[in-house]
C-alpha cells in the first residue's frame, strides 16, 4: 500500500490563500458591476441591452462562486485538517502501545 501523508500547515496556507483570492475576485466583480451600471446609462441599444443582461447574469453567478469557494475553504480548515490531525494522534497512541 502506498504511503499517504498530508502537510497540515500547507493545507492551512492553501485555505488562507483561497480566502484571500475569493475576496479579491469579489472586489473585482463589484468594480465590474459599478462600471456596468455607469455604462448602462450611456449604452442604449439592443446590443447594449443584451450585454447588460449577460453581465447581470454573470454577477448573479458570483454569489454562488463565492459560496462554493468559501465552503471549500471551510472544509479544509474545519474538517480535513482537524480530522487528519486527530487520526494521526490516535494512530501514534495506538502504535505507542505496541512498543
What tens digit of pLDDT does each residue of 1-39 get? 677 777 888 989 999 999 999 999 999 989 988 988 888
57 or 17: which leads in pLDDT: 17
Q: Which residues of 4-21 are buried (b: 16+ CB within 10 A; e: fewer)?
A: eeeeeeebeeebeebbee
- The pLDDT value recorded for residue 93 is 86
Alpha-carbon separation of residue 69 from 16, 49, 95 (angstroms): 11, 31, 37
User: What gap in Å lies between CA 49 and CA 36, rounded to an integer?
Assistant: 11
CA distance 81 to 58: 33
User: Hey, where are the domains in the chain?
Assistant: 20-97
Contacts (Cβ under 8 Å, ≥6 apart) of 73: 15, 18, 19, 22
What mean pLDDT value characterizes the chain? 86
Q: So what's the pLDDT on residue 46? A: 84
Amino acid at each position: 500500500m502506498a504511503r499517504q501523508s498530508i502537510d497540515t500547515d500547507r493545507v492551512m496556507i492553501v485555505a488562507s490563500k483561497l480566502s484571500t483570492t475569493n475576496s479579491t475576485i469579489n472586489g473585482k466583480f463589484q468594480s465590474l458591476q459599478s462600471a456596468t451600471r455607469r455604462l448602462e446609462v450611456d449604452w442604449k441599444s439592443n446590443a447594449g441591452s443584451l450585454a447588460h443582461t449577460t453581465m447581470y447574469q454573470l454577477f448573479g453567478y458570483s454569489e454562488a462562486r463565492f459560496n462554493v469557494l468559501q465552503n471549500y475553504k471551510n472544509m479544509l480548515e474545519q474538517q480535513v485538517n482537524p480530522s487528519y490531525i486527530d487520526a494521526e494522534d490516535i494512530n501514534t497512541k495506538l502504535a505507542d502501545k505496541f512498543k
